Amino acid sequence: MKPVQRPLHVAIIMDGNGRWATRRGLPRSEGHRRGMTVVRQTIRAALDLGVGYLTLYAFSSENWKRSEKEVAFLMQMCEVMITEELPFLIKNDIRFRHIGRKEELPETLKSAIRRGEDLTKNNRALCVVLAFNYGGRQEMVDAVRRLAGDVKEGCLAPDDIDEKAVAASLYTAGIPDPDLLVRTSGEMRLSNFLLWQICYTELYVTKVFWPDFRKKDFERALKEFRKRTRRFGGAHD
């Protein structure tokens, strides 16, 4: 019998907060607030369902295009969430990691992120990766800059740049590629998320808006994943 196929790494594009709120005649911020509660529930669900890595896309490099008010709200909310969630992460052996450009974030958010990463760095039960001010292309640009710097310094030969070296220069160094990508609220696109890492990831899109995403929706995605046959370029049986 085939063993049950479980994803080690689940990545989620948490989309639809704005639409969720607008449909209810509420401000977009209310959708984000609800979305934050769902982030907390989803971390608990991932722990319970035995997922090893959970990557959550919370703010893209392109989300700076939104109103100043919305951007400020999202920055503040992120800081509050990390700070309030930290005791739970520590208590439950959960590691926290951030991917994205830290240098462009407000000082207080940067230090909340650093503190979260530092205080949980030895935790092993689950790794929660928060993609905040993250863009797949920006990540590749930063990786190319790092590699080019190493070449210039003489510690790396151009011929030694292989897939492993590129992967090790990305923000996600040391994190396995996602097995399953979930996108909520129906959009069939990647929106600059994990472009390198998603190479052979199974895709699952649900129409459910992020604030309505529950453990049962997570389980549905895992159930669908179990049905997939992964070939990585190999031939059909």
Instruction: Give the residue numbers marked as catalytic.
Output: 15, 63
Q: How far apart are CA 181 and CA 203, in angstroms?
A: 5
**Please, what is the minimum distance in Å from the beta carbon of residue 71 to ligand IPE?**
9
Q: How far apart are CA 96 and CA 110, in angstroms?
A: 14
Q: Is 187 in the site for ligand IPE (CB under 6 A)?
A: yes
The residue (of 15 and 202) whose beta carbon lies closer to Mg ion is: 15
Q: Is 191 in the site for ligand IPE (CB under 6 A)?
A: yes
Count Cβ atoms below 10 Å from residue 57 Cβ, excluding itself: 25
Q: At what angle do helices 28-48 and 215-227 cross, to 10 degrees?
A: 60
Q: At what angle do helices 107-119 and 68-91 cross, to 10 degrees?
A: 20
Partner that binds at residue 222, options ligand IPE, Mg ion, none, CB closer than 5 to 8 Å by kind: none
Q: Is 15 in the site for Mg ion (CB under 5 A)?
A: yes
**Footprint on residues 30-69 left by ligand IPE (CB under 6 A):** 57-60, 63
**Please, what is the minimum distance in Å from the beta carbon of residue 219 to ligand IPE?**
21
**Please, what is the minimum distance in Å from the beta carbon of residue 94 to ligand IPE?**
21
Binding residue for ligand IPE (CB under 6 A) from 23, 145, 189, 207? 189
Q: How far apart are CA 14 and CA 187, in angstroms?
A: 11
